[in-house]
């Protein structure tokens, strides 16, 4: 395992162990967004952090690495480029792309990811696609806290526009409960939310459903 040069961290090492631990913990559990990204140059796809990368923090030194192993989960990837990434589930949003493909995306994840997934984000393509996704995750992802749905203002979207530069900020703000309220003009959000959450009724906790503008 390669690590960064830690010469510039020498004053940091003189801090009390308890304070160093809290600093590392804050960095390792900061909110992040991870994208399921296709990798044309290799066989398969990969999880790619685009907002904050706990794995990079854990490579700074052995102390950070040892704390990361305690508070984060190692997820193995399909791609041969990077074998794995480390994530803190409670503060990581997984962007799964178009609802039409998100169900198949989830099906490629290993059990640790399915069981630990807390925050997922998809792009609305059609009602049938979204329902199919919800049906699948309700059966396989028992830790979901929130599901974010990017909406482009239409009930059916044949071509998905790319995410905006501030989309990761939108996802994090929504999960933290500080994002602006947004309701698509073409749908009754309370009714739709109740219908989608009904897939999770056997569970003691239903995930929040949050719409975001695309």
**What is the pLDDT at residue 5?**
47
CA distance 103 to 94: 13
196, HSE (Cβ side, Cα atoms, 13 Å)? 25
Query: Which of these, 166, 37, 31, lies nearest to 92 by C-alpha position?
Result: 31
Please, which residues have CB within 8 angstroms of residue 78's CB and are 6 or more apart in sequence?
44, 45, 46, 108
pLDDT digits (tens, 9 = 90+) for 89-112: 999 999 999 998 888 888 777 788
**What is the pLDDT at residue 44?**
53
pLDDT digits (tens, 9 = 90+) for 181-200: 899 998 899 999 999 999 99
Strands 92-98 and 84-87: unpaired
Exposed/middle/buried for 101, CB within 10 Å: 0-12, 13-18, 19+?
A: middle
Strands 119-123 and 45-49: unpaired
Distances (CA, A) of 106 to 19, 27, 122, 207: 38, 27, 11, 17
For 45-65, what is the mean pLDDT? 86
Going by the DSSP 8-state scheme, the letter that residue 181 receives in this structure is P
CA distance 213 to 209: 14
pTM flag (> 0.85): yes
pLDDT surpasses 60 at 43:
no
CA distance 76 to 109: 9
List phi, psi (to 5°) of 81.
-75, -55
Confidence band, pLDDT 50/70/90 cuts, at residue 22: very high
Going by the DSSP 8-state scheme, the letter that residue 52 receives in this structure is -
Q: Where are the domains of the chain?
A: 1-30+53-87, 89-213
């Amino acid at each position: 395992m390669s690590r960064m040069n830690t010469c510039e961290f020498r004053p940091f090492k003189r801090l009390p162990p308890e304070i160093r631990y809290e600093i590392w913990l804050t960095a390792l559990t900061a909110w992040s967004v991870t994208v399921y990204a296709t990798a044309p140059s290799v066989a398969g796809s990969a999880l790619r952090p685009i907002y904050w990368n706990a794995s990079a923090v854990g490579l700074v030194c052995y102390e950070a690495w040892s704390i990361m192993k305690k508070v984060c989960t190692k997820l193995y990837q399909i791609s041969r480029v990077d074998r794995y990434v480390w994530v803190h589930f409670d503060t990581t949003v997984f962007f799964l792309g178009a609802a039409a493909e998100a169900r198949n995306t989830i099906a490629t994840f290993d059990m640790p990811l399915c069981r630990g997934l807390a925050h997922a984000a998809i792009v609305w393509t059609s009602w049938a696609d979204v329902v199919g996704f919800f049906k699948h995750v309700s059966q396989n992802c028992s830790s979901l806290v929130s599901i974010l749905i990017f909406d482009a203002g239409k009930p059916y979207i044949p071509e998905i526009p790319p995410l905006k530069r501030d989309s990761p900020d939108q996802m994090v703000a929504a999960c933290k409960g500080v994002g602006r309220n947004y309701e698509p003009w073409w749908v009754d959000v309370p009714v739709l939310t109740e219908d989608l959450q009904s897939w999770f009724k056997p569970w003691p906790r239903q995930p929040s459903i949050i719409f975001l503008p695309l």
